[in-house]
Amino acid sequence: MTQLQNPSPLAALDQANKSLASHPKGGISAPDQVTVTAVTHWTDKLFSFQTDRPPGFRFQSGEFAMIGLVDDEGKAVTLAYSIASPHWDDHLEFYSIIVPDGPLTSRLRHVQIGDKIILRPKTTGTLGLARLRDGQRLYLLATGTGFAPFAALIRDPEIYERFEQVILVHGCRTIAELGYSQKIVADSRAHPLIGEMVTRQLHYVPSVTRENFTQTGRITTLLADGKLASSLSLPPLDPAFDRIMICGSIGLNQDIAAQLLEKNFHEGNLSSPGDYVIERAFVGDGI
Ligand code: FAD
Ligand code: A2P
């Protein structure tokens, strides 16, 4: 099993990138190749796809891997992608943005069933249960494609063993952008093995910011004004009971971390499990 354990997301990403230096630049070496088995386009900017899973590929729910394609010059272009399927699944799933002129996604957007993509064998990340102290409730806060690691975690029975309640908040600009998380949650509730615990313990709170919807507003606002907790009849956030995982843009991550620090929440790592952990959903300011 090849997994990296790093204290911070950036260190983790660095290490994952360094590991690629050992791979030949041209083409896909056979062990790093997987075949696309399903593709769904959710909006003109968002799609998900599944691949087969190499027999030796091991990871923990919530981690990311380096995936990519070979470009026209034969060079491998690989970038970090959260694995959206849980560790126990026999296939792998990814949820992707489309950046029209992005080096990877301008091409990845066209993948079809039967195509080969690169999947590097190392996985890593900070959204791991081992970095959190025990608690009563686990909040999973995501915007956009930041939902991907939580698509894996909400299907991992361990989170329902560790926490009585799991509150998943997914913030997007539009209702259509919630399509993937709505489907994953609905399928998880109906799943023959995990459905019962998901139905009993998972609260799903989708929220949009640029259209009318049952729940509107930025996650930061819902947290700050206490609306999130009160709409679920839960007490206000408290480091004695609540644990939090965050995955979104740099701005979202920073704004939530600032709110949590004010409330005396401490960031966790492997040597010192804490109250919250953060992963970037992407590098940059967003599109
Ligand atoms: P890039 O040159 O990489 O990006 C161009 C610009 O687009 C960026 O500067 C940024 O402003 C914006 N951008 C990039 N990715 C996103 C995004 N996901 N949402 C909104 N704006 C974005 N991307 C995914 O689509 N799904 C994932 O599961 C995912 N997991 C990631 C996990 C980690 C730890 C990190 C660091 C990044 C992750 N990304 C994910 C981002 C991914 O690595 C690429 O940046 C993305 O696929 C775009 O690649 P590109 O080459 O087309 O454009
Ligand atoms: P808003 O529409 O008010 O910008 P994006 O597609 O840009 O990544 O945004 C996804 C969601 O995250 C949107 O609902 C957006 O709200 C919200 N968002 C963006 N930046 C922040 C931030 N700093 N704090 C909280 N929510 C944010």
Nearest to 127 by CA among 67, 66, 86, 177: 86
**Beta carbons of 93 and 48 less than 8 angstroms apart:** yes
Q: Average of pLDDT values for 10-36?
A: 54
Q: Supply the pLDDT for residue 12.
A: 42
Give ∠ CA 134-185-257 in degrees, rounded to 5.
45
From ligand 1's centre to the CA of 200, what distance in Å?
A: 33
The neighbour count for residue 230, using CB atoms within 10 Å, is: 12
- The chain-wide mean pLDDT, for the chain, equals 90
Whether the model clears a pTM of 0.85, i.e. scores above it, the answer is yes
Q: Supply the pLDDT for residue 285.
A: 78
Looking at the CA of residue 281, tell me the nearest atom of ligand 2.
Answer: 8
Q: Supply the pLDDT for residue 283.
A: 86
Percentage of the chain surpassing pLDDT 70?
89
Residue 148 has pLDDT above 60, yes or no: yes
Quick one: pLDDT band at residue 255, thresholds 50, 70, 90? very high
Residue 216 has pLDDT above 70, yes or no: yes
Give tens-digit pLDDT for 172-210: 999 999 999 999 999 999 999 999 999 999 999 999 999
Whose CA is closest to atom 36 on ligand 1? Answer: 282
Whose CA is closest to atom 24 on ligand 1? Answer: 96
Residues in the chain: 287
Q: Rounded to whole angstroms, what are the CA distances from 156 to 61, 63, 102, 150, 195?
A: 7, 12, 32, 10, 11
Q: Supply the pLDDT for residue 59.
A: 97
From ligand 2's centre to the CA of 143, what distance in Å?
A: 7
Whose CA is closest to atom 13 on ligand 1? Answer: 286
Ligand nearest to the CA of 126: 1
Quick one: pLDDT band at residue 8, thresholds 50, 70, 90? very low
Q: Supply the pLDDT for residue 287.
A: 75
103 Cβ below 6 A of ligand 1: yes
